[in-house]
């Protein structure tokens, strides 16, 4: 968050301020998704742009590899992926409707892992 405070091109930012409805593939019900950050910045062309950012561990940003043995860990990974995927599709549509961008940051983006 200090990066956002100190970045010269960031005009404004907020944490978990946007609410996006999404349908869970687990229970079929509508839930609320709160992306981690809303950032308004000046891009390289000098234009203002708005970006919704979700921060997740890299392993949660890809579907789990299919396993023959359905352990509780594997089933939890499948559930987590399904929910994340539904949230991110809803976020992409939400942003598209508003002319915003949606990005998912991992520990690599944050310089925490090489």
Half-sphere exposure of 48 (CA within 13 A, CB side): 5
pLDDT tens-digit profile, the chain (114 residues): 788 999 999 999 999 999 999 999 999 999 999 999 999 999 999 999 999 999 999 889 999 988 888 899 999 999 999 999 999 999 999 999 999 999 999 988 776 765
pLDDT of residue 47: 95
pLDDT given at position 109: 72
Domain boundaries, given as residue ranges, for the chain: 2-105
What's the first-to-final CA gap in the chain, in angstroms?
Answer: 20
Query: Residue 18: which of 83, 81, 90 has the closest Cα?
Result: 90
pLDDT at 36: 96
pTM of the model: 0.86
């Amino acid at each position: 968050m200090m990066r956002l405070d100190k970045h010269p091109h960031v005009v404004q930012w907020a944490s978990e301020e946007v609410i996006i409805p999404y349908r869970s593939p687990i229970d079929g019900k509508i839930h609320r998704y709160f992306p981690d950050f809303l950032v308004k910045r000046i891009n390289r062309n000098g234009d203002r742009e708005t970006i919704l950012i979700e921060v997740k561990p890299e392993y949660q940003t890809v579907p789990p590899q299919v396993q023959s043995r359905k352990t509780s860990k594997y089933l939890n990974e499948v559930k987590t992926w399904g929910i994340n995927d539904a949230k991110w599709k809803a976020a992409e549509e939400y942003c598209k409707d508003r002319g915003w961008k949606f990005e998912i940051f991992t520990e690599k983006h944050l310089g925490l892992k090489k």
